[in-house]
Structure 1
Amino acid sequence: MYEQYGLFINGRWIPGSASAEVISPVTERPLGRVPMATAAETGEALDAAHGALAKMRELGGFGRAEALHKAADEMIRRSDEAARMICAETGKPIAQAGREWMLACEQFRWCAEEARRIYGRIVDSRVPGGRFEITHEPVGVVGAFSAWNFPAALPARKLAPALAAGCPVVLRPSSQTPGVAMVMVDCLRAGGLPDGAVNLVIGSTGNTYAPIMADSRVRKVSLTGSTRIGQQMIRDAADTVKKVSMELGGNAPLIIFEDADIEAALDLTVGTKFANCGQVCVTPDRIFVHDSLYDAFVQGFVSRAARIKLGDGLQADTGMGPLINASRLDEIESIVAAAVNDGAKVVHGGKRPAHLQSGFFFEPTVLVDVRDDMRVFSEENFGPIAAISRFSTEEEVFARANASNMGLSAYAFTRSPDRARRTVAALNAGMVGINSFALAAAEAPFGGTNHSGMGREGGSEGIADYLDTKLAQLVF
């Protein structure tokens, strides 16, 4: 299924010097083989990107906008192919895969329009007859690293703003889900960007990451990944003083206040928690429910979780697919076992489904009697585990929600506008949803604080992260 693609370097697909298998999380059998770049091939991609800098500048904002719109047109045309690729590589239900691809399309549409609106400004100077001109220029070659859990949305959040700003990109997607990035890059090829503006390499850390980070021509790196990897990338970027954008881990709190619309909260929370088998950095990990609603909330959560059908994402009635690989499955099993050992109670799920003989499946799981010091609560679990705890007062729950070094997202359900505003102000997070989990949109800045990262993807802020500011003092 990867044969027509390969590595993409300087405007053409090449087969690469080596290859590796991609494994289906549904069948545990190979989907196919993908090329793995050598260090020399990554160097060729970096050379091509550097050579495209001048061409991207000459193209200008309007030219780049036109190319990105053409690429988005091609992405729309190939939506079915892309959704099926996402489904095959991640196992997520086909409807979720289709929505993800459309989010990626919207990134290119939005950034195409923003490319025409990279404005400067003029400021009066103190020098007689002078003025300051403030302009914005592309930062330079970008190294982009994306994770496996959203193999279309995450590369799009990096490629679209970088290209709109005029920055050539070397993209390294996850080797577990490379095919979706290949389809996206092929759509960009069809958009007519200059050769070298987009390059794709897949491979080991030594052959891809290391050359990108060591190259002084790479002026910006963007990562979606774990906090541990982000910390290492920041250290490595310091050697050549690269700009960095980091969208790292999360450990999102969700607060269900006593005045919440409990049915709406349950419907939205269950669907969000188990989307992509819980492998979502912004999913609610720590669910705090007011004493007065606790029993009803748990009962409603379990009844809804019980209706979720596990299986192959290509089947229309599948509600949840598998985890990405065997090690992730073992990790989730370990987290649940540790929680039970520490006193938590499994009220639904908690094990591998007996009726599925292959695939990395784990049942939608609901834990109660959870304490804040348990691993399932204090760390990002990145799986289909809903950990629920009770609270009594607003002051208490704000303190508990903020007792984390993560700060990506946070959520609350309340009918009170005043309480909603207090909650937004009180929670330490880059994004807060009130009666909603819909934070990811092309027009909105996505990102976190503290150990959840730095920089933003989306909105005008997303493109600003790929621009340098230049000041000129003109006196006549």
Structure 2
Amino acid sequence: MYTKFGLFIGGAWRQATDGETVPVMSPVSETPLGDVPQAGVADTEAALAAAEEGLARWRATPAFTRADALHAIADEMARRTPEAARMISSETGKPIAQASREWVLSTDQFRWYAEEARRIYGRIVESRVPGGRYEVSHEPIGIAAAFTAWNFPAALVARKVAPALAAGCSVIVRPSSQTPGVAMVMIDCCLAGNLPPGVVNLVVGPTATTYGPIMASKAVRKVSLTGSTRVGQQMVRDAADTMKKVSMELGGNAPLIVYGDADLTTALNATAATKYANAGQVCVTPDRFYVHESLHDAFVEGFVTRAKAIKLGDGLDEAVAMGPLINARRVTEIEGIVAEAVAAGAKVLAGGRRPSGFNSGHFYEPTVITDVTDDMRVMAEENFGPIAAITRFSSDDEAIARANSSDMGLSAYAFTSSPGRARRTVAELKAGMVGINSFALAASEVPFGGTNFSGMGREGGVEGIRDYLDVKLAQVVF
């Protein structure tokens, strides 16, 4: 699967200097999909040097030319959608329809930021000095480093690379070693943009040989991470040594409030499909379900029915609705979360185990748990798996207070038919993103990101390009 790819440095694919490779494992068969080069320190340093050379040319390239390049990349990505979707599904196990949608949304990031490249506006401010004026302009921040997770291996790369290129930055991508092929396909599509050598680079490898040199380099002025809160906290500390600008989308533990006036069928259909997408391995997916006591029993019954109807299997099978977890570690973690909840008095009404009939793969059944309390780990922490933990509430004040009890603040959701209740919920929920009767938050034209322990900065929208720009003020007097 990876024979034509490798590390991408200075405009060309190449193998690791020392010849080291690492296998990429299928979460479905638990066998290698193939081997990819594992970058050593020398390879990462070569990528840094190439990025410096590429930056010098790319930052001097007119914005309209950069825009044309991004449109050309998007065109190539659209042409290669079937190839990319298959790579996504093979590496993550997610259903092919979800994989294809992810690639389409990733393509849209390049189209959106192609247009944003043309709209990096400055402004003129009248000066107090006679004959003078202030000029406010924006410049590319420099080399940007993109560190991405495995659960959305295309979208997470696109959200970082597209705005960096639009702003005039060069970029080094370091994708997850569990899903490197998806990033490789995207970087290969970047060749269609005829970018100067070194503008886009990719390294795959362990922390010591990739992350370490990148974070130590003074030439890298911006780092963007999608990952865990623990990793994000360490990155902030490491970035301080060289005063890098940081943006990061970290963990979530999204609450869902189903008010008593909600349309039950709409809430059930939307929520079940969202909860079990990508086997629940989605940072913005709802984990904590607060359902009004008047709807609780009917909601639980409907949710259990929908969970039990989901077909598990290889995501490349178009009939499959949910694939495996990414690795055995995740399965063990999910088993522990469920076992702790049951020991504390919770009830498992669907799933709660590895499915029978599978000789391989990291599969776990879509799970519904009730009689949970807020102090159980299944409620207090992000489970990052196919677990819906459902509890009841009696008043709006109670629901909002319990939803806000987490240190995380990425996304939150509610279903209601009342505009007034919707506005109050949006105003009072502590989250960077709130969905009312909808889970559609990830679009190229709007900002994506969280608050508190869920991160800082935004990806998408007009806000997304700002983290890749420095502001310059000039006082001009004649």
Is TM-score (shorter-chain normalized) higher than 0.5?
yes
Q: Which residue of 1 aligns with 2:330?
A: 328
- Match for residue 311 of structure 1? 313
2:381 corresponds to 1:379: yes
Match of 2:198 in 1: 196
What is residue 21 of structure 1 aligned with on the other side?
A: 23
Aligned to 2:303: 301
- Post-superposition shift, 1:103? 0.6
The corresponding residue for 1:151 is: 153
Choose the corresponding residue for 1:274, options 273, 276, 291. 276
Query: Partner letter of residue 416 of structure 2?
Result: T
Deviation at 1:61, TM superposition (A): 0.9
What is the one-letter code of the residue matched to 1:120? Answer: G
Counterpart secondary structure, 2:384: coil
Paired with 2:193 and 2:167, the residues of 1 have a C-alpha distance of 16
Local SS of the residue matching 2:2? coil
Q: TM-score, normalised by structure 1?
A: 1.00
After TM superposition, the score normalised by the length of structure 2 is 0.99
Which amino acid letter does the alignment assign opposite residue 39 of structure 1? V
Q: What per-residue deviation string (whole Å, max 9, x for no partner) do you get for residues 143-201 of structure 1?
A: 11000000000000000000100010000000000000000000001211111000000
Judge which range, 155-164 or 51-60, deviates more.
Answer: 51-60
Aligned to 2:369: 367
- Secondary structure at the counterpart of residue 61 of structure 2: helix
CA-to-partner distance for each residue in 1:73-117, whole Å, 9 max, x for gaps? 000110000000000000000000000000100000000000000
1:33, distance to aligned residue in structure 2 (A): 0.3
**Does 1:142 find its partner at 2:116?**
no
Aligned equivalent of 2:236, options 226, 234, 237 = 234
| Correspondence 1:168 to 2:170 | yes
- Residues 393-439 of structure 1 deviation map (CA, whole Å, 9 limit, x = unaligned): 01111111100110000000001111110000000000000000000
Which amino acid counterpart does residue 425 of structure 1 have in structure 2?
Answer: A
Distance 2:144 2:60 in 1: 18
Shift of residue 59 of structure 1?
Answer: 1.4
Shift of 1:53: 1.4
Q: Which runs of 5+ in 2 are unaligned?
A: none
Q: Equivalent residue of 1:33, what SS? A: strand
1:112 maps to which of 114, 117, 121: 114
Partner of 1:10: 10
Structure 2 residue 410 is matched with structure 1 residue 408: yes
Equivalent residue of 2:320, what SS? coil
Letter in 1 for 2:27: P
- The letter for the 1-side match of 2:76 is E
Secondary structure, counterpart of 1:436 in structure 2: coil
Aligned partner of 1:447 in structure 2 is 449
- Which whole-Å CA distance do the structure 2 matches of 1:76 and 1:15 have between them? 27
Rounded Cα–Cα distance in structure 1 between residues aligned with 2:82 and 2:263 = 36
User: Structure 2 CA distance, aligned partners of 1:268 and 1:126?
Assistant: 57
Q: What residue number does 2:431 align with?
A: 429
How does 1:188-267 map onto structure 2 within 5 Å?
Answer: 188-267=190-269
How far apart, in 1, do the equivalents of 2:314 and 2:379 lie? 29
Check if 1:103 corresponds to 2:105: yes
Cα deviation, 1:308-341, whole Å, max 9, x if unaligned, reads 0000101111010000001011101111101101
Secondary structure of 1:312's aligned partner: coil
Q: Which whole-Å CA distance do the structure 2 matches of 1:135 and 1:191 have between them?
A: 26
For 2:146, what is the secondary structure of its paired residue? strand
Partner Cα distance (2:62, 2:308) in 1 = 54
Structure 1 residue 441, shift from structure 2 partner: 0.3
**AA partner of residue 405 (structure 1):** D
Letter in 2 for 1:271: A
Q: How does 1:51-66 map to 2 (within 5 A)?
A: 51-66=53-68
Task: Give secondary structure in 1 for the equivalent of 2:22.
Answer: strand
Q: Output the CA distance in 2 between the equivalents of 1:182 and 1:245.
A: 23
Structure 2: distance between partners of 1:41 and 1:75: 27
User: After TM superposition, where is structure 1 displaced by more than 2 Å over at least 4 residues in a row?
Assistant: none
CA distance, structure 2, for counterparts of residue 46 and residue 107 of structure 1: 25
Alignment of 1:44-83 (within 5 A): 44-83=46-85
SS at structure 1 position matched to 2:266: helix
Query: How high is the sequence identity, in percent, across the aligned residues?
Result: 70
Residue identity matched to 2:5: Y
Equivalent position of 1:88 in the other structure? 90
Q: Distance in 2 between matches of 1:156 and 1:18?
A: 27
Spell out, residue by residue over 1:120-160, the C-alpha distance to the aligned partner (whole angstroms, 9 max, x if none): 00111111221111000000001110000000000000000
Task: Give the alignment's Cα RMSD to 1 decimal.
Answer: 0.5
Q: Secondary structure at the match of 1:250?
A: coil
| SS of corresponding position for 1:470 | strand
Aligned partner letter, 2:321: G
Rounded to whole Å, the distance in 1 between the matches of 2:349 and 2:331 is: 20
SS in structure 1 opposite 2:124? strand
Among 391, 394, 397, the alignment partner of 2:396 is 394
What's 2:474 paired with?
Answer: 472
2:107, 2:372 → 1: CA distance?
40
Q: What is the CA–CA distance in structure 1 between the aligned matches of 2:71 and 2:362, rounded to whole Å?
A: 38
Rounded Cα–Cα distance in structure 2 between residues aligned with 1:381 and 1:458: 26
3-state SS of the aligned residue for 2:260?
Answer: coil
Instruction: For residue 57 of structure 1, report the CA deviation from its aligned partner.
Output: 1.8
Q: C-alpha separation between the residues in 2 aligned to 1:131 and 1:377?
A: 56
SS of residue paired to 2:441: coil
Structure 2 distance, partners of 1:284, 1:203, is: 32
Report the Cα offset of residue 58 of structure 1.
Answer: 2.1
Aligned letter for 2:101?
R
Give the match's secondary structure for 2:62.
helix
Aligned-partner residue type, residue 191 of structure 1: G
Count of residues paired in the alignment: 476
CA distance in 1, matches of 2:333, 2:191: 39
Q: Distance in 2 between matches of 1:6 and 1:170?
A: 14
**Deviation of 1:302 (Å):** 0.4
CA offset digits 1:1-50 (Å, max 9, x no partner): 10100000000000112101011000001100010000110000000001
User: 2: CA distance between counterparts of 1:263 and 1:356?
Assistant: 32
3-state SS, counterpart of residue 59 of structure 1: coil
- Residue equivalent to 2:344: 342
